[in-house]
Structure formats: C-alpha cells, structure tokens
Structure 1
C-alpha cells in the first residue's frame, strides 16, 4: 500500500507542478485613441507614449530607433531611413507588446502609407 500511495503522490505532485508552475502571461497593451497609432518607449505599453493621428511625421529623437511596443487603431506605415527607405505597413488592429527587437529598433518616422 505504501508503494501505491508513493506512486500516487509522485503523479499528483508532477501534475501540480506542471499546472501551477510559473506562468508568464502577455500583458495587454493599454488602450489607444480611436483612429490613431500609439507608440510606447518600452515593451508592454509602458514608458512614454507618442500618439500619431495622420500625415508624415519624423519621430521625436527619444522615439527614433526606440519603440518598445505599439497599437494601431488605423492604417499607417513605419519608416526607417538608415540605409535608404525601408517601410512597414501597419493595419488597424495590429499591435506588438515587444517591438524593440524587431522594427521598433529601426523606426524613424510614421506616415499614412509606404
């Protein structure tokens, strides 16, 4: 009976550790104004916020190559001028909670289209 109880305890313990182990949930980005694209300096919508509402705009220097996350509530385009023009289209509903390792480390401007 002890062997049976030990086996049960091991299985139950394994299930508990697997189920209750450390969970890492993606944090939801904060809301962004209607018909705007919101850019945050840091991931998960933290840090300073820049709200773009249309037209071509060079980003403020503190955002140039330093966009950690974004949420798009309209279409637009992210532009990098480092070696010619590289452009990424953004559609309404697009977002990234950790954009700094991707195009967020290159973005120089935001515009209506590529």
Structure 2
C-alpha cells in the first residue's frame, strides 16, 4: 500500500513538472510598423533592427547574410545574389523567430517582388 502511494506521488510530481516546463510561452517577436517588413540581426527579434518599407534595397552590410528573425506587415521578397538570383516571396503575416539557419543566412536585398 505504501509503495503504491509513493508511486502515485512520484507520477503526480513528474506530471506537474512536465506541465510547468511545457507551458512556458515562446518568445514573441517585437511589433513591426504597419506596411513594413522588420529584420533583426538575431533570433527572437533581438539585436539591430532594419525596417523595410518598399522598393528594391540592398541590405546594410551588417544584415547581409545575417538576418536572425523577421516579421512582415506587407508583401515583399528576400533576395540572395550569391549564385544568381535566388528569391523568397514574403506575405503579410509571415514571420520567423529563428531565421538565421534558413534563408536569413543568405539574404542580400529586399524588394517588392521576385
């Protein structure tokens, strides 16, 4: 009887611990102005910020191949010129809190479309 009670307490404690760990909210990206695409140097919207509002723009050197996160409040395109034009369309509502291991490590420019 005592062993069963101890097992019940152990299982209840493990369930409570898992519940606490899994309910930790994900880091939310900071807001971005309307009709803009925001690029941050590091993940989770940290580090230097670049706000793009339209037209073709070569990114400032510290952002070239170093975009850690982004939030899009307008359509646009991320462009890489390393081996010819490689382009990724971006739509309103698109975001990535950790983009550096993906196309964020290739971006050279931002434009209105591909």
| Range of TM-score over shorter length | over 0.9
Q: Which runs of 5 or more residues in structure 1 are unaligned?
A: none
Structure 1's consecutive aligned runs of 4 or more residues displaced over 3 angstroms after TM superposition are: 21-25
Task: Show the counterpart of 1:43.
Answer: 43
Q: Which runs of 5 or more residues in structure 2 are unaligned?
A: none
SS of the residue corresponding to residue 48 of structure 1 reads: strand
Question: What TM-score do the two structures reach when normalised by structure 1?
Answer: 0.92
**Greater Cα shift, 34-43 or 24-33:** 24-33
Q: Does 1:76 align with 2:76?
A: yes
Give the root-mean-square deviation of aligned CA atoms: 1.4
Number of residue pairs the alignment of both structures matches: 114
1:1-114 mapped onto 2 (5 Å cutoff): 1-21=1-21, 25-114=25-114
